[in-house]
Amino acid sequence: MTPILHDTLLTQLKWRYATKKFDPAKKIAIAVWSALEEALVLTPTSYGLQPLKFLVLTDPALRAQLVPISWGQTQPVDCSHFVIFAARAQNTEADVDRYISRMAEVRGVTSEALAGFKNVLVGDVVNGPRGKVALEWAARQAYIALGNFMTAAALVGVDTCPMEGFDPAKYDEVLGLPAQGFHAVVACAAGYRAVDDKYAGMPKVRFAASELIDRR
């Protein structure tokens, strides 16, 4: 029932920090990166709809274009793999159908048997409350993926740096996302800390549990 010790979990969550300086020479091994990509795919999302794209950038020239539109931060070029979390701007009935088809395929049932569930989805994410705030709803799902990704990475000893500090409209333009119906909402650099990243040794700043946790 306890695949890893809770002490191991906490050791790794304390080990992680927002890496400011990556070692550009250290690349994440293929098997480890494949697992982290699979972790992204496995991210739970609202209704399971996955209104997301994960852009994984390794090309140096493309990554170099991001530095000036990332408040000058160099993590996009210095890290091993740079991930951009993109959220879908609108949900259509076709998006729901694609999900229903996938569910039918995976679970070995007919799409017709899922018609009731489809109607619930369309009535919420297309024509209902979540449809009215589709991009923001999808952005929140992207942040679940970000949280999952950073924790997963820490557990396999990979450093990360989450980044909201960039110009989303310019990221969109460089990456051609709007034409696909998506927008960049957050990013995360992954790789290995440089031995001289002074931030690695600084005590972690978090409010006391008593300020954040309210037990009732």
Report the site for a second copy in 120-139 (rule: CB under 8 A). 136, 139
HEC assignment per residue over 149-182: HHHHHHHCCCEEEEECCCCHHHHHHHHCCHHHCE
Instruction: Decide if residue 48 touches a second copy (CB under 8 A).
Output: yes
Q: How far apart are CA 160 and CA 81, in angstroms?
A: 10
The pair phi, psi for residue 189, each rounded to 5°, is -85, 145
209 is an interface residue for a second copy by CB under 8 A: yes
Smallest gap from residue 109 Cβ to a second copy (A): 10
List of residues 6+ apart from 130 with CB closer than 8 A: 46, 91, 124, 137
Among 67, 69, 89, 103, contact with a second copy (rule: CB under 8 A): 103
Closest to a second copy by CB, 35 vs 69, is 35
Q: Is 201 helix (H, G, I), strand (E, B) or coil?
A: helix
Interface pick for a second copy out of 66, 75, 138, 149 (rule CB under 8 A): 149
Task: Annotate each residue in 2-21 with x if it binds a second copy (CB under 8 A) or - if it does not, as one string.
Answer: xxxxxxxxxxxxxxx-x---
| Nearest 10 degrees: Cα torsion 39, 43, 48, 50 | -90
Kindly tell me which residue out of 77, 79, 184, 186 binds a second copy, with binding defined by CB under 8 A: 186
Q: Is 29 helix (H, G, I), strand (E, B) or coil?
A: coil
Q: Which is nearer to a second copy, 15 or 127 (CB)?
A: 15
By CB under 8 A, residue 179 contacts a second copy: no
- Note whether 30 binds a second copy by CB under 8 A: no
56 binding a second copy? (CB under 8 A): yes
